[in-house]
């Protein structure tokens, strides 16, 4: 382990007292922040700390985060408080998880690995991140924990809007009501309510309050009066940005005196960058990773866009720290031996290049016009974002006829198929062009009933085709009827694709899942695919200890730079045509 400086017990010539001398730039910076009695020594990066128990404890806190070479080991051991002394003993094996039995309120059956998940949550005192891969039953494990923990009600479930109804159904399915005197009422379920409006009003008493992330900030005051005991954050990656209102609301709720248990659920807690794990952990186990500044200083570097990226040589140590203190992560291949594999194909298909190139030229000209009249950096940035979205939509439209042919070819072998797309216009065109198959549909803006009716018609075999929006249909649904999933468009986040794949590849799937990523030949799809791969390296190394046998590729250029190059080449070639 790298040392950030030294620690030595010295006779300070300035005060004439025995003190602790700390050296090292980062260590001295930390001393100056948290030990006001310290003063600078003779060297550039040298601090003198008066020797008293409180200061010794502060130095120990710093060393836990920034290890120092101890030059006065015997004295240091004597000065440490008993609770902080390291007692030499045989290496302890990692404690194995046991097959815990859920409490009497729970009426379902857990698989063995789910019973181990329950044991993990119990041993973590309910302050933990359950990061099992999608499809392994994180919902049922968290409900079994609530049923097993003492004094866990009332509980707050925070989840994406499209999953609220499913949470209420799962509560009714797996839990029995407990009366005030502790008697189990087998024919009743715990009371629950879904909070659907942002207007502040007093809430009646329930066992479960279910709310989506977008309403958290508006209803914070109402929720804070309920005496909540448990908070479960489903798809906790929604809290990956510490500057959002929903993060601020959940942070304040999690620190309420009444709250004892905080559970985060997500198969993809990191969406784009490893540093996104810090805000999540800081809610579940405050202080575990230090302040965000300390976390970045130790684990990260800042890239050319100002984003904190976890250093390659720090990813393994970060994963170990998470697994040791807060996170349980199992993959389907580890615990579901009967589950078939998942196979991905990158399929290059034809595109209407003439249409695509004309659209690129129009997009670029529009962007240049908007940049000329942009009055602020925000206006310019918004124009860039619109251009990026327009290019993605143009790429989707350019390859659409060939996407439709690809889908029809698979439908001919009478297999159930799920097609994911990104833009509503592409979703609508796919629906029209494939109407002969009477497709089910998942798209933003549907009511819970509409959404569930479409899922049921697909799962029950009334239709063999499902067309779903990438961000509307990637969480909270089960599509195990199909074994073919087709990505007609690509999203920027690898986590979005993983979540979409695992709507099929989950408990209940009896076949190998085939995932086809359709890349439009001559479009910037190939660039997007490279960005997805680059992001995946960092995420996999932190979450799954997946080490690639080749070096990480350099980050691809900004997509707009490629649009510009593409347009230039078109304009240069046009006189010769």
Specify whether 55 is located in the same domain as 131.
Answer: no
**Confidence at residue 538, expressed as pLDDT on a 0 to 100 scale:** 53
Under 8 Å between Cβ of 456 and 389:
no
Beta-bridge partner residues of 261: 230
**Confidence at residue 533, expressed as pLDDT on a 0 to 100 scale:** 55
Low-confidence stretches of the chain (pLDDT < 70) are 1-3, 65, 82-95, 271-272, 336-341, 413-414, 473-476, 492-495, 507, 529-577
* 514 domain-assigned: yes
CATH number of the domain residue 233 falls in: 3.40.50.10810
Distance CA(109)–CA(96), nearest Å, equals: 21
Specify whether 330 is located in the same domain as 351.
Answer: no
Give the pair of three-digit tokens for residue 487: 């990505």
Distance CA(311)–CA(299), nearest Å, equals: 6
* 93 domain-assigned: no
Specify whether 319 is located in the same domain as 375.
Answer: no
Specify whether 381 is located in the same domain as 508.
Answer: yes
Distance CA(329)–CA(302), nearest Å, equals: 27
Which of 306, 335, 364 represents a domain boundary (last residue)?
A: 335
* 424 domain-assigned: yes
Domain that holds residue 161: 112-335
Distance CA(89)–CA(389), nearest Å, equals: 59
Distance CA(48)–CA(247), nearest Å, equals: 39
Which of 304, 335, 366 represents a domain boundary (last residue)?
A: 335
CB within 8 Å of 143: residues ≥ 6 apart: 106, 170, 171, 174, 175
Other CB atoms within 10 A of residue 422 CB: 22
3-class state of residue 66 by DSSP: coil
3-class state of residue 156 by DSSP: strand
* 95 domain-assigned: no
3-class state of residue 159 by DSSP: strand
**Confidence at residue 31, expressed as pLDDT on a 0 to 100 scale:** 84
Specify whether 325 is located in the same domain as 357.
Answer: no
Tell me how far the alpha carbon of residue 65 is from its chain's centroid.
24
Q: What stretch of H or E contains 530? A: helix 525-544
Specify whether 331 is located in the same domain as 347.
Answer: no
Report the side by side order of strands in the sheet with 342-349: 342-349, 513-520, 484-487, 417-421, 465-469, 440-442
Sign, CA dihedral 287-290-296-300, equals negative
Give the model confidence (pLDDT) of 268-313 as tens digits. Answer: 777 667 788 888 888 898 888 888 888 887 787 777 777 788 777 7
Distance CA(274)–CA(267), nearest Å, equals: 14
> Closest Cα to residue 397, out of 441, 344, 354, 446?
354
Residue with tokens 């996407």: 403
* 485 domain-assigned: yes
Specify whether 265 is located in the same domain as 359.
Answer: no
CATH number of the domain residue 446 falls in: 3.40.50.300
Specify whether 348 is located in the same domain as 293.
Answer: no
91 exposed, middle or buried (CB, 10 Å; 0-12, 13-18, 19+)? exposed
Peptide bond into 405 cis (omega under 30): no
User: Phi and psi (nearest 5°) for 108?
Assistant: -100, 180
Specify whether 186 is located in the same domain as 329.
Answer: yes
Under 8 Å between Cβ of 213 and 160:
yes
Residue with tokens 């976390």: 295
Distance CA(278)–CA(288), nearest Å, equals: 9
CB within 8 Å of 236: residues ≥ 6 apart: 129, 264, 265, 266, 269, 280
* 67 domain-assigned: yes
Under 8 Å between Cβ of 37 and 47:
no
User: Phi and psi (nearest 5°) for 263?
Assistant: -120, 130
Distance CA(36)–CA(54), nearest Å, equals: 12
The C-alpha torsion from 207 through 264 and 121 to 162, rounded to 10°, is: 50
User: Phi and psi (nearest 5°) for 532?
Assistant: -60, -45
Tell me the CA distances in angstroms from 234 to 125, 156, 212, 214, 478, one per residue in order. 18, 11, 10, 13, 16
Helices (H), 414-472: 424-433, 448-459
Q: What stretch of H or E contains 144? A: helix 138-148
* 447 domain-assigned: yes
Give the count of alpha carbons within 13 A of 47, CB side only.
23
* 89 domain-assigned: no
3-class state of residue 467 by DSSP: strand
> Closest Cα to residue 298, out of 306, 307, 289?
289
Give the pair of three-digit tokens for residue 384: 């860039």
**Confidence at residue 29, expressed as pLDDT on a 0 to 100 scale:** 79
Under 8 Å between Cβ of 266 and 213:
no
Specify whether 434 is located in the same domain as 512.
Answer: yes
- Domain count of the fold of the chain: 3
Distance CA(57)–CA(46), nearest Å, equals: 19
Specify whether 512 is located in the same domain as 432.
Answer: yes
Specify whether 370 is located in the same domain as 507.
Answer: yes
Which of 335, 358, 385 represents a domain boundary (last residue)?
A: 335
């Amino acid at each position: 382990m790298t040392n950030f400086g030294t620690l030595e017990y010295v006779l300070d010539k300035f005060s004439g007292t025995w003190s602790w001398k700390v050296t090292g730039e980062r260590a001295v910076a930390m001393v100056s922040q948290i030990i006001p009695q310290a003063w600078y020594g003779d060297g550039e990066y040298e601090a003198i700390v008066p020797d008293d128990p409180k200061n010794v404890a502060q130095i120990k806190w710093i060393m836990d985060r920034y290890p120092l070479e101890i030059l006065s080991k015997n004295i240091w051991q004597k000065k440490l408080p008993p609770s902080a002394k390291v007692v030499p003993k045989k290496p302890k094996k990692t404690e194995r998880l046991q097959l815990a039995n859920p409490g009497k309120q729970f009426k379902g059956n857990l698989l063995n690995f789910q019973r181990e998940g329950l044991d993990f949550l119990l041993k973590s005192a309910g302050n933990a991140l359950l990061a099992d891969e999608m499809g392994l039953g994180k919902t049922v494990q968290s409900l079994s924990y609530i049923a097993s923990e003492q004094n866990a009600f009332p509980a707050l479930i925070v989840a994406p809007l499209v999953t609220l109804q499913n949470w209420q159904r799962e509560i009714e399915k797996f839990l029995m009501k407990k009366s005030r005197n502790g008697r189990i009422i087998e024919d009743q379920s715990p009371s629950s309510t879904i909070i659907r409006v942002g207007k502040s009003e007093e809430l009646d008493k329930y066992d479960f309050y279910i709310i989506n992330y977008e309403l958290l900030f508006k209803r914070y005051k109402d929720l804070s009066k309920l005496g909540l005991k448990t908070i479960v954050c489903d798809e906790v990656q929604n809290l990956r940005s510490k500057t959002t209102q929903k993060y601020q609301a959940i942070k304040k709720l999690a620190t309420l005196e009444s709250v004892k248990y905080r559970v985060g659920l997500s198969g993809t807690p990191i969406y784009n960058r490893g540093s996104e794990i810090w805000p999540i952990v800081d809610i579940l186990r405050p202080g575990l990773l230090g302040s965000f500044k300390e976390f970045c200083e130790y684990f990260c570097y800042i890239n050319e866009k100002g984003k904190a990226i976890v250093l390659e040589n720090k990813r393994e140590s970060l994963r170990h720290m998470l697994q040791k203190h807060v996170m349980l992560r199992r993959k389907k291949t580890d615990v579901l031996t009967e589950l078939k594999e998942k196979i991905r194909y990158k399929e290059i298909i034809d595109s209407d290049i003439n249409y695509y190139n004309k659209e690129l030229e129009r997009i670029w000209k529009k962007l240049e016009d908007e940049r000329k009249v942009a009055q602020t950096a925000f206006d310019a940035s918004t124009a860039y974002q619109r251009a990026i979205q327009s290019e993605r939509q143009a790429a989707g439209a350019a390859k659409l006829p060939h996407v439709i042919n690809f889908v029809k070819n698979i439908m001919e072998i009478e297999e159930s198929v799920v097609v994911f797309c990104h833009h509503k216009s592409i979703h609508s065109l796919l629906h029209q062009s494939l109407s002969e198959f009477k497709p089910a549909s998942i798209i933003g803006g549907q009511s819970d009933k509409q959404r569930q009716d479409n899922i049921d018609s697909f799962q029950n075999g009334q239709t063999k085709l499902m067309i779903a929006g990438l961000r509307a249909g990637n969480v909270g649904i089960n599509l195990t009827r199909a074994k073919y999933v087709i990505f007609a468009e690509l999203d920027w986040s690898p986590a979005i694709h993983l979540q979409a794949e695992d709507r099929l590849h989950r408990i209940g799937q009896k076949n190998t899942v085939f995932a086809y990523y359709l890349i439009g030949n001559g479009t910037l799809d190939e660039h997007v695919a490279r960005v997805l791969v680059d992001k995946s390296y960092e995420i996999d190394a932190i979450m799954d200890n997946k080490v690639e046998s080749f070096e990480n590729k350099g980050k691809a250029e900004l997509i707009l730079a490629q649009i510009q190059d593409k347009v230039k080449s078109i304009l240069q070639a046009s006189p010769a045509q």
